[in-house]
Structure 1
Amino acid sequence: MKPKRIILMGLRRSGKSSIQKVVFYKMPPNETLFLESTARLTQEHISSFIDFSVWDFPGQVDVFDAAFDFESIFIQVGALIFVIDAQDDYLDALARLHVTVARVVAINPNICIEVFIHKVDGLSDEFKIDTQRDIQQRTQDELADIGLENVPISFHLTSIFDHSIFEAFSRVIQKLIPQLPTLENLLNIFCANSLVEKAYVFDVLSKIYIATDSSPVDVQSYEICSDFIDVILDIGSIYGGARQKHSERHPDALDETSSIIRLSNDLVLVLREMNQYLALVCIIRADNFKKSGLIEYNVQCLQSAIQSLFSSK
């Protein structure tokens, strides 16, 4: 896949840089309090299974400023993420959003526009819903007034203090993966033939899931699978010396880490590395896991299919 370009925009102190540091650089959320505001346009290349660059626009930048070659920047952008601080007065942010959308869509009609309604960790559930509804309605009304009522915009409630920011970024990244429908179909076939409750394919380094089966995503299952990856990575960092030496001797060999955890609620978590970058994490009922040989065979078939699907990487 060709590298994708993602633009982060929003007013000053909206949380753009914090999002980037937490998701891609594993910075503890509490430490983001000490980050300085972005003073200039920054570019970070994220090298993982999904190669893409994240451009962080300073909050004070005027999209009409002649100092920026706005057209050359946005013509190649896959997704625009506009971050709004939900705990602040967001009317100025909405005005900036509306101007930005109008300008960007004129340059790149195929761009994915995502609005992160951010810092919602301090809000009640009712207030979160009301805030999202208000922002969404104001945006739709404003764009309709200028003839852009058909521009698709997705809205996400996010916080760096829980898994919501990873969930939101996962949904953004999925829109940039052309093989997504095929990958989802493979997971559906795997789940049906293995009696799996839920399956995710994660980008291990970022904990972004690039695909899941068609059954509904519930927050709890995603959080469990995401935390499972953290546990395995932490253990691997302690006991991974032998693996590292083996990888150095055999650079083309696959790192086929696998792990199984049985939970107290009669569910089994299974993790299996698909390749150097991706891991399959699935949830299975304990009764269905009795057919572990069949499940292992199906995992191997899925692994082979995924490797073939992304062999152009």
Structure 2
Amino acid sequence: MSSFNENEEEDDNFFNNDEYVKPKILLFGLRRSGKSSIQKVVFHKMSPNETLFLESTNKIVKEDINNSSFVQFEIWDFPGQIDFFDPTFDSELIFGDCGALVFVIDAQDDYLEALSKLNQTVTKAYKVNPRIKFEVFIHKVDGVSDDFKIESQRDIHQRATDDLQDAGLDIHLSFHLTSIYDHSIFEAFSKVVQKLISQLPTLENLLNILITNSGIEKAFLFDVVSKIYIATDSAPVDMQTYELCCDMIDVVIDLSDIYGVSAEERANQEQTAFDNLSSSLIKLNNSTILYLKEVNKFLALVCILREENFTRQGVIDYNFLIFRESIGRVFELRSKKLKSNNDDLSEDYNYQQPSSVTDSV
């Protein structure tokens, strides 16, 4: 493995603007289904073994996920015994501006009660906000056979879909097999996040252009703090490849934290370990190369390519610079559109005719 620094100037402002609207993600599930453990492992770097000592959630816990990360959410963790018919339960407030609803089912427990609760939750939320993305995490599938995983997913999918159809609702549910003891939970949350990013088709297209012109086999755009990938190219994601990329980010962050930040900066927390000087190259013993390039202090591009294709490193680096500039323009337009929307809302409040501003990439 070799790591190196590059003196490249960039402007990070378009990733850190006041107009950024945090999406709200709701976590539902029965008691001890693993909701809080998922949140702690993914967003707080808690060891999976430490989650064994977490207490059950007995009230709604609201938390901003904004630890110097591009991926920023407002996550609401709901207790398993939540009662939708309680007069104090404000459905409009809870579901009105929700981006995604994640329902966690313990696959190793009797999940009939969980399916009933899933049906109640989805039905209630859909009536308030039909734009919500509904995600079902079939959780705690570590240590079980592949046949058990497949059968559990098939059965839960069939029962949940049938229950909604019986209620006369045509609602799409997405299902994910997850565990906090491997990278499946990060991969599942990546899929949830991507559905909340309106620029996803543009990002995917940019990645497709990059890999086509650079001899790259697979590329991910990672949020370096959470290890969630906010975009990838159109080729299917292989779990082993994704795990290699996650491990690489861990190595780079650990080395940057040791060698890339002075003791004074670390003490004052004036600088993140991952910055515009971070980059890494890892050669595997199967003639595969992992190549990490810093997009900005929040995002990293991680590429997988064959060693023979890396002989054109100059072309790859040049194409990356064009890619990074394009990413910058995407989020600059995003910032302008958010500001325009806020201005329109302000003008509506003052009973003025809003102006229409449309940005395209």
Equivalent position SS for 2:142: helix
Supply the distance in 2 between the matched residues of 1:294 and 1:84 (Cα, whole angstroms).
47
In the alignment, structure 1 residue 17 sits paired with structure 2 residue 36: yes
Return 301-310 or 73-82, whichever deviates more: 301-310
Instruction: Give 1:71 deviation, angstroms.
Output: 1.6
Unpaired runs of at least 5, structure 2? 1-19, 336-361
Give the match for residue 264 of structure 1: 285
Matched residues, percent identical?
Answer: 59
Match of 1:70 in 2: 91
Q: Deviations over 1:74-97 (max 9, x none)?
A: 110000000000000000000000
Q: Which residue of 1 aligns with 2:324?
A: 303
Q: CA deviation at 1:243?
A: 10
In 2, the alpha carbon distance for the partners of 1:82 and 1:128 equals 17
Structure 2 counterpart of 1:139, from 148, 156, 160:
160
Computing the radius of gyration from Cα coordinates, the structure with the larger value is: 2
Alignment of 1:151 onto 2:171: yes
Aligned-residue offset at 1:248: 8.9
Deviation at 1:68, TM superposition (A): 1.8
Distance 1:200 1:243, change over 3 A: farther
CA contact (8 A) 2:103 2:137 kept: yes
Q: 1:256·1:275 contact (CA, 8 Å) conserved in 2? A: no
Matches within 5 A, 1:35-50: 35-47=54-66, 48-50=69-71
Work out whether residues 261 and 271 of structure 2, in 8 Å CA contact, stay in contact via their aligned partners in 1: no
Q: Distance in 2 between matches of 1:298 and 1:204?
A: 21
- Distance in 2, matches of 1:283 and 1:140, equals 38
| Structure-2 residue corresponding to 1:114 | 135
Highest relative contact order (Cα 8 Å, sep 6+), 1 or 2? 2
Which one of the candidate residues 210, 227, 238 is aligned to 2:247?
227
User: 2:356 is matched with which residue?
Assistant: none
Question: Which runs of structure 2 are paired with 1:56-205 in the superposition (5 Å)?
Answer: 56-148=77-169, 150-205=170-225
For structure 1, list consecutive stretches of 5 or more residues without a partner in the other structure: none
Counterpart of 2:257 (choices 212, 228, 237) is 237
TM-score normalised to structure 1 length: 0.96
How many equivalent residue pairs? 311
Q: Does 1:6 align with 2:29?
A: no
Q: Which among 45, 54, 61 is matched to residue 26 of structure 1?
A: 45
Calculate the TM-score normalised by the size of structure 2. Answer: 0.83
Q: 1:30 is matched by which residue type in structure 2?
A: N
CA distance in 2, matches of 1:204, 1:156: 22
- How far is the alpha carbon of 1:69 from its aligned partner? 1.0
Distance 1:147 1:244 in 2: 62
